[in-house]
Amino acid sequence: MADEFPCKLTLHLPFPTPALADTALRALSVDQELSPLVRRSFTLVAPDTTAESGAKNVLQVSYSATTNRMLRVAVNGFFESVGVVIGVMRELDVDVVDMPGSESLEGAQGLEQVKV
C-alpha cells in the first residue's frame, strides 16, 4: 500500500531555553491543521551539538501531506503563527522589560508608571 502522505518535512526551531521551547509547543499545538490532507506532530528535542546535556530547547515539527502544494500551504501558515508566538515572547520577556522599546507606554490605559 502506498503512503497516503508521501510529502514530508521536519522543522527544527531552536529556542534560548527549554521553557520557551515548551511555551511555543503549547501555544502552537492548540490549532489543529485545517485540512485532512495534512498531518503535523510536535516534540521537544535537544540540539545535536549538546545532546548529552539533555536540554530540550528545540521544537521539532514534523509535517506530512498528500501533495507538495498542501505541504507548502500548511507550513506557510505555521510560520505565520510562529512569528506571532515569537513576537509575543519578545514583548513579554522579563529580561527586556527595562530595555528601551520601539514604542512608548506613556499614556497607556490601565498602566501605572512607578518612578524609581
- CATH number for 21: 3.30.310.50
Domain that holds residue 25: 7-96
Tell whether 116 is covered by a domain: no
Tell whether 55 is covered by a domain: yes
Tell whether 38 is covered by a domain: yes
Higher pLDDT, 50 or 21: 21
Identify which of 55, 52, 76 has the alpha carbon closest to the alpha carbon of residue 65.
76
For the chain, how many structural domains are there in total? 1
Residue 8: strand, helix, or coil: strand
Residue 59: strand, helix, or coil: strand
pLDDT of 11 reads: 97
Mean pLDDT of the chain: 83
The pTM assigned to this predicted structure is: 0.74
Strand (E) or helix (H) holding 38: strand 38-45
- Residue 40 C-alpha cell reads as 503535523
CB atoms within 10 A of CB 82: 17
% residues pLDDT > 70 (the chain): 74
Tell whether 101 is covered by a domain: no
